[in-house]
Structure 1
């Protein structure tokens, strides 16, 4: 082995980690993960046989098939959130509905564990929104346009003074404007001020 081998493997690990972070950032990753994790106990517990010493507990119920279907659907919805981001709202609502149904069908929603995880995943899926790409310079936008983010002011359009968004001319100019040159804010109690 040469001295360069650890550095090369560290670079590969770093690249893989960054690639995964970029992939995770473009989709509702945590919503899908929690939804899939919620489906596992809902589908597993009705078919599990637990051993306590020499005694075995079987929790099979008549609704075991329903529990399996709900668990598989939750896992499928979690994968859908990862790979089809456009359907995230539908998948989130469906996950919440399936989690609520699992309370009655599947041993109190997989002993509340699966229920809570599926509810959290569904809520995260509904609330996730894709991020917007930022410009590299952070300055004016292409085409001479200024910032267009929330809170940015729009330039005033050419219009008649007194229209909404248009400034009034100062007193003493030849422009009569509204009400014969008197600005509306100059009226107090019906009396003319100024």
Structure 2
């Protein structure tokens, strides 16, 4: 017994090949992903994104490095709690830099101070990695500037290319300046 393939129905989908349908659905998926990526890029460029990323990573390392069971933290004492508090402060400054770019100077300075303070408080600043990342991110946040405004509507800026053709040029003295 043989089975025949189902007959194609007349209509808009019957004329399109399966490969064409798959390609058109991929285009719409890529279009949405492309728009989302472009929107994220536009949002990212309006704030110190990389500074927040490095600062948050440094705070994460400083916070989770001394993590231990509660009994161990109580035996370690204030040192373990101070290290974790420093990591929380640094991660909070990373969020502040990301969400409120106008406060980047204050948050950057606090992140650098907390990163340096983590050196004696939290296992050598998260074994130097957390401290270095926090100082790097805080410095980047402090130094970040918003994008430059777009050019004027009048077109590109003109450079002074010298006198126009036909304009007399004043005489210039060439020499060393001594008589």
**TM-score using structure 1 length:** 0.65
Which residue, out of 136, 145, 161, partners 1:120? 136
| Deviation per residue, 1:45-96 (Å, 9 max, x gap) | 11147xxxxxxxx687321111111111111100111111111111111111
Matched, 1:61 2:76: yes
| Deviation per residue, 1:12-49 (Å, 9 max, x gap) | 11011111111111100000010000011111111147
5+ long unaligned stretches in structure 2: 1-17, 161-169, 172-176
Partner of 2:41: 21
Aligned pairs, how many? 147
Partner of 1:44: 64
5+ long unaligned stretches in structure 1: 50-57, 141-145, 154-169, 172-187
Q: Larger helix proportion, structure 1 or 2?
A: 2
Distance 1:130 1:43, change over 3 A: same
Partner of 1:156: none
Matched, 1:89 2:109: no
Cα distance in 2, alignment partners of residues 86 and 119 from structure 1: 19
CA contact (8 A) 1:46 1:61 kept: no
Which residue, out of 107, 110, 113, partners 2:123? 107
Cα distance in 1, alignment partners of residues 66 and 33 from structure 2: 40
- RMSD of aligned C-alpha atoms? 3.0
Cα deviation, residue 133, structure 1: 2.1
Larger relative CO (CA 8 A, sep 6+): 1 or 2?
2
